[in-house]
């Protein structure tokens, strides 16, 4: 792999560390204490602010802004960080903020994620791997996103909300509470629609039909029975003892701070 290639109009801090084969385009700015992994391409007009780590073989498109100060009125310049893994694509005008001390100080993003144009990742967000954020999807601070989640265009997620692994969120949906792993939902005006498991996405990610059918039955216990959440968990534990799909969903519910989203119309 070739050495670092810097455009003569790029501005790179002497405190930055650039891996082998890194490319920095014209008018891009790389701040203090930035680390960029091997093979990552920074195109023209990109800003990577201080205390930011970007992994290997990522590609950042023009006018994206990564590792800038958190948009939090209590932030007073404390030392905080942003961490971005390997093989991520960050398209035009995407913004990713560093963490805040009160939120743990770290915004973290895993590997193989695709952030389309105008995506915003707020401070202290924790994002898994293999996610897709379509144009204009927006996360407030402290949001958690599991692996293989798809956020469609112009979704917005409330601070401290969580979206479980392999969930699919339809376009223009406002997420105010936690969305269970494997769920497929959307919002129509003021009503949420529920479509059962994200079957197509799950099959693409290697889940077999029995697993998906079990998730569908678990969802019926949670959302369509007369049981409250505690009673539903007990029934799921009885029927699906030690099975991965049940354990994943139950652990997610038990970890909820905002409560799980349940106010659905059913459109399976």
Catalytic residues: 123-124, 141
Burial class (CB in 10 A: 0-12, 13-18, 19+), 69: middle
Contact 38, 53 (CB under 8 A): no
- DSSP code of residue 187: E
Contact 145, 126 (CB under 8 A): yes
Alpha-helix residue ranges (DSSP H) falling in 71-187 = none
Residue 252 makes CB contacts below 8 A (sequence gap 6+) with 162, 164, 178, 180, 181, 260
Structure-block tokens of residue 143 = 């949001």
How many CB atoms lie under 10 A from the CB of residue 42? Answer: 30
Structure-block tokens of residue 249 = 């969903």
């Amino acid at each position: 792999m070739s050495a670092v290639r810097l455009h003569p109009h790029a501005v790179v801090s002497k405190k930055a560390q650039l891996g082998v084969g890194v490319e920095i385009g014209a008018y891009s700015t790389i701040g203090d204490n930035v680390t960029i992994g091997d093979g990552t391409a920074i195109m023209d007009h990109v800003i990577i602010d201080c205390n930011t780590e970007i992994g290997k073989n990522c590609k950042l498109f023009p006018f994206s802004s990564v590792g800038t100060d958190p948009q939090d009125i209590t932030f007073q310049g404390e030392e905080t960080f942003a961490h971005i893994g390997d093989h991520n694509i960050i398209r035009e005008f995407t913004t990713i903020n560093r963490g805040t001390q009160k939120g743990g100080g770290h915004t973290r993003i895993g590997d193989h994620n695709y952030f389309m144009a105008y995506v915003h990742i707020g401070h202290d967000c924790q994002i898994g791997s293999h996610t897709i954020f379509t144009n204009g999807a927006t996360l407030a601070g402290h949001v958690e996103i599991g692996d293989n989640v798809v956020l469609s265009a112009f979704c917005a997620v409330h601070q401290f909300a969580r979206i479980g692994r392999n969930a699919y969120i339809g376009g223009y949906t406002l997420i105010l509470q936690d969305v269970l792993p494997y769920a497929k939902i959307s919002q129509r005006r003021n009503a949420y629609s529920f479509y059962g498991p994200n079957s197509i996405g799950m099959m693409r990610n290697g889940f077999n039909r029995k697993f998906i059918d079990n998730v569908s039955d678990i969802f019926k216990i949670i959302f369509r029975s007369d049981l409250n959440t505690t009673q539903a968990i007990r029934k799921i534990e009885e029927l699906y003892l030690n099975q991965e799909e049940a354990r994943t969903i139950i652990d997610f519910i038990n970890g909820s701070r905002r409560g799980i989203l349940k106010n659905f119309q059913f459109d399976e």
